[in-house]
Amino acid sequence: MNLLQKNLSKLTCACLLSLGSQGLFAQQTVVKLHADQPSGTISKHIYGHFAEHLGRCIYDGFYVGENSSIPNTAGVRNDIIAALKNLNIPNLRWPGGCFADRYHWKDGVGPKEQRPSIVNTMWGGVTEDNSFGTHDFLNMCKLLGTEAYLAGNTGSGTVQELADWVQYVNFEGKSPMSDLRVKNGQTKPWNVKFWGVGNEAWGCGGNMTPEYYVGEYRRYATFMEGRNLFKIASGANVDDYHWTETLMKGIPLQMMDGIALHHYSFPSWEKKGPATGFTEQQYFETMKTALRMEELITKHTAIMNKYDPKKKIALVVDEWGGWFEVEKGTNPGFLYQQNTMRDAMIAGVTLNIFNNHSDRVKIANLAQCINVLQAVILTNKEKMLLSPTYHVMEMYKVHQDATLLPVEVKTDDYVFGQEKLPSVSVSASKNAGGLTHVSVVNINSSKTEEIEIDVNGAKFRNVSGRILSSSKIDDHNTFEKPDYIKAVSFKGAVLKDGKLKVKLPPFSLAVLELN
């Protein structure tokens, strides 16, 4: 090889290397958006929330009492009502969680000064005065414009007690329970549709075997009488497929409407790590557990399909979200944690998974709404902040009751050590007004993703959108800087030659609107 050839070959190598990092060999994410294949409705109930008598979720969260100096309506903070109304929350699950199987609803009705105090043995061992009970919750749901999802006690309660609760809440005519309701100030029934038949029956709800719970479910559900009830069986813990199989086999389809599934995200169950100041490894592991939702839904659905091919029974993921160590100095039983961009990533990918499985997943509930686990709102006395997760929920609300548009994603990898995860997650829908929305998440901690979305012949003329991003993965809002992270207008998406090109910074999420 002469000198000229040598130099030419060096140049070629250099060019290829530089092109490799910039484009020619760069792995790119390619998405096919099947705008021409509308595929059923994304139930708005996928965007549900959860409020347990746990820590400062109800007391000192939603509810500060009628005499509080914090502006309130019937004891519920007005700032919280306004913030949650802005999310269009479709349903709110109450009173637990594990608390539900320890809760006796009759303790929480009637004149407040006559209600007995109880000890919340499940969470923190604190005494509560029952000043927030059935009327308080159901009237709060009215204020929020949301449907109630009541979790019944099948652990320490009785069949009669739960049957009475259904009658108290829903019966229009004259009966012992509806008379009591009227006496307690509520003439009209609330007509609550969603009822949980116990919670985590495999654990805090009674440590039952699935075979035993099937019998319990059938007994309780038989006496939960009324029109249009949507009964949800206590479902599997994560990958307990035997639980789902046993319930599907043992409970007649006409006796239930949904089966629950609980799955949380964390670096590991034993070592959850801090909510802020976590390592990249802890971030990666958390995203791994969050993305596992895809596998869990696919496998539970496959079992359900065997017994219910027409998809009558909903998969109800009524507890999901990030679970980390509590903030220093707070009660370990209160599960109070900060909420960072990592939580926003959990929410973004999980909601995309739910959207894409909306033929089976019809209801889901983020755990939990205020001051507990992956909260959308944190409070400190009169102060309140909206977490990054709040902003994700607000951005994604466009998918509620919209028509799913299927996507095929060939994504770049997020590599950490010997392992890799898909960097990009996508879901899309078209709303009643004809607008198409695409939610795109890049979980990669260090790489901007260049995403090409082939809109498959759809003739879009305009694209706009908003992005949630920050400079550090554990960035979060504080009571001093409550707006540090919020959604802003996004300029990184362009329509060109019938394709949508998106540049998404590391650990960020955008929702695009196309018309």
| Residues carrying an active site annotation | 200, 319
Of residues 49 and 115, the one with the C-beta less far from ligand AHR: 49
Gap between the Cα atoms of 30 and 451, Å rounded:
6
User: Where in 353-423 does DSSP place strands (E)?
Assistant: 361-366, 377-380, 383-386, 403-405, 407-410, 413-416, 419-422
Of residues 222 and 268, the one with the C-beta less far from ligand AHR: 268
Contact present, 463 and 512 (Cβ < 8 Å): yes
Gap between the Cα atoms of 143 and 85, Å rounded:
9
Enumerate residues 352-391 that contact ligand AHR by CB under 6 A.
Answer: 367-368, 373
Enumerate residues 310-339 that contact ligand AHR by CB under 6 A.
Answer: 319
Q: What's the distance, CA 476 to chain centroid? A: 19
- Nearest approach in angstroms of CB 320 to ligand AHR is 10
- Nearest approach in angstroms of CB 101 to ligand AHR is 9
Enumerate residues 261-290 that contact ligand AHR by CB under 6 A.
Answer: none
User: Number of C-alpha atoms within 13 angstroms, CB side, residue 348?
Assistant: 29
Of residues 257 and 319, the one with the C-beta less far from ligand AHR: 319
Of residues 315 and 421, the one with the C-beta less far from ligand AHR: 315
Contacts of 11 (CB under 8 A, 6+ apart): none
- Nearest approach in angstroms of CB 379 to ligand AHR is 18
- In 3D space, the residue among 133, 29, 49, 38 whose CA is nearest the CA of residue 89 turns out to be 49
**Element (DSSP H or E) covering residue 450:** strand 449-454
- In 3D space, the residue among 19, 147, 55 whose CA is nearest the CA of residue 371 turns out to be 55
Count CB atoms within 10 A of the CB of residue 114: 8
Enumerate residues 197-216 that contact ligand AHR by CB under 6 A.
Answer: 199-200
- In 3D space, the residue among 381, 395, 255, 274 whose CA is nearest the CA of residue 324 turns out to be 274
Gap between the Cα atoms of 21 and 40, Å rounded:
40
Token code pair at residue 117: 């105090």
Of residues 367 and 455, the one with the C-beta less far from ligand AHR: 367
Of residues 373 and 453, the one with the C-beta less far from ligand AHR: 373
**What is the contact mask toward ligand AHR in residues 238 to 257, using x (rule: CB under 6 A)?**
--------------------
- In 3D space, the residue among 423, 425, 420, 396 whose CA is nearest the CA of residue 408 turns out to be 425
- Nearest approach in angstroms of CB 100 to ligand AHR is 8
By beta carbon distance, the residue nearest ligand AHR is 97
Gap between the Cα atoms of 452 and 31, Å rounded:
6
- Nearest approach in angstroms of CB 97 to ligand AHR is 3
Token code pair at residue 401: 């009751």
Residues in the chain: 515
Determine, following the binding rule CB under 6 A, whether residue 46 of this chain makes contact with ligand AHR: no
- Nearest approach in angstroms of CB 199 to ligand AHR is 5
Of residues 166 and 201, the one with the C-beta less far from ligand AHR: 201
- Nearest approach in angstroms of CB 238 to ligand AHR is 11
**What is the contact mask toward ligand AHR in residues 73 to 112, using x (rule: CB under 6 A)?**
-----------------------xxx--------------
Q: Which of 31, 43, 52, 400 binds ligand AHR (CB under 6 A)?
A: 52
Token code pair at residue 104: 């006796």
Gap between the Cα atoms of 245 and 240, Å rounded:
9
**What is the contact mask toward ligand AHR in residues 138 to 177, using x (rule: CB under 6 A)?**
----------------------------------------
The residues binding ligand AHR (CB under 6 A) are 52, 96-98, 199-200, 319, 367-368, 373
